[in-house]
Amino acid sequence: MNPNVQTYDAPYIAAPSEAQRNQVLRNTYWLLALSMVPTVLGAWIGVETGIARAMSPGVGLIVFMAGAFGFMFAIEKTKNSAAGVPVLLAFTFFMGLMLSRMLGVVLGMSNGASLVMTAFGGTGAVFLGMASLSSVIKRDLSAMSKWLFIGAIVLLVAGIANFFIQSSALMMTLSVLAIGIFSAFILHDLKRVKDGYEDNYISATLGVYLSLYNVFSALLALLGLGGGRDE
C-alpha cells in the first residue's frame, strides 16, 4: 500500500508524462483482473480439499501471516524483474487458498452461495466507485496514507486480539471499519498512479489487490454473521 509518497521536486527527476501514467494504470487494471484467476483457483482448491480448514485456527493464522508477509517481501524485491508478475500471481493463489476457510463456512449455510455472490458484487461496486472517484478528484490524496496505514495497523492488532476473544460484535465492528478503510485505500492507491507517485504497476496491483481482498473478506464475514442461515 506504499505509504511513502514520491516527489519530483529535484530538477534532475522528471515526473512521468500523462501517457506513462495512463500506461501504468492500464497495466495495473489488467494485472489486477489476471490476479483474480489464481485467487479463484486457490479458493476452489481450498474448498474442495479442505486444506485450510484442516489446519487448526492457530496454525492457520501463523501460516497466513508468514505466507502473506513473505510473499509481499518477495514481490517488492522482484517487482522490477521478469519474476515480478509470476511471484504476484503465486501470492494471489496463496491468498485464495487461505480465503477458502471462510468461504467453506459461508458456503455451508443454506444461503451461502447467495451470500458469496452478494459479497462479490459489493466488492465490485466498491472498486468501480473508488476507480471512478480517483478519475474525477483533483486534489492530492497522498496525505491520507499515514492515517490509512494507522487504521490498517489498528485493524490488524484488533483482529488478532479478537482471534482469542472470539467476539461476534467486535468482529462485525471490525468488518464495517475494514470496508471503509480499505475502500479508501483503493481510492488512495489508484490516485497515486494517476498522479504519478506510483510508476510500478506490480506494486500498484499489489496495493489494490490487498484492499479488494480485505473488502471482500470483511463483507463476507459481515454477511455470514448477519444474514447466514444454517442448514
87 within a domain of the structure (yes/no)? yes
179 within a domain of the structure (yes/no)? yes
Give the dihedral sign, CA 192/219/96/132.
negative
Asked if pLDDT for residue 8 goes beyond 50, the answer is no
pLDDT tens for residues 205-229? Answer: 999 999 999 999 999 999 988 765 5
The span from the CA of 166 to the CA of 170, in Å, is: 8
172 within a domain of the structure (yes/no)? yes
List the grid coordinates of 118.
Answer: 452478494
3 within a domain of the structure (yes/no)? no
Is there a contact between 53 and 109 (Cβ–Cβ < 8 Å)?
no
Name the average pLDDT for the chain.
Answer: 88
Which string of DSSP letters, residue by residue, matches 104-147? HHHHTSTTHHHHHHHHHHHHHHHHHHHHHHHHH--S--TTHHHH
Cβ count near 126 (within 10 Å): 21
The span from the CA of 79 to the CA of 75, in Å, is: 6
pLDDT for residue 142 = 84
122 within a domain of the structure (yes/no)? yes
2 within a domain of the structure (yes/no)? no
pLDDT tens for residues 110-151? Answer: 888 999 999 999 999 999 999 999 989 988 888 888 999 999
List the grid coordinates of 199.
Answer: 510508476
pLDDT tier, 204 (very low <50, low <70, confident <90, very high otherwise): very high
Domain residues for the domain of 214 are 18-227
**Number of domains present in the structure of the chain:** 1
How many residues are given for the chain?
Answer: 231
pLDDT for residue 117 = 94
Percent of the chain with pLDDT over 70: 91
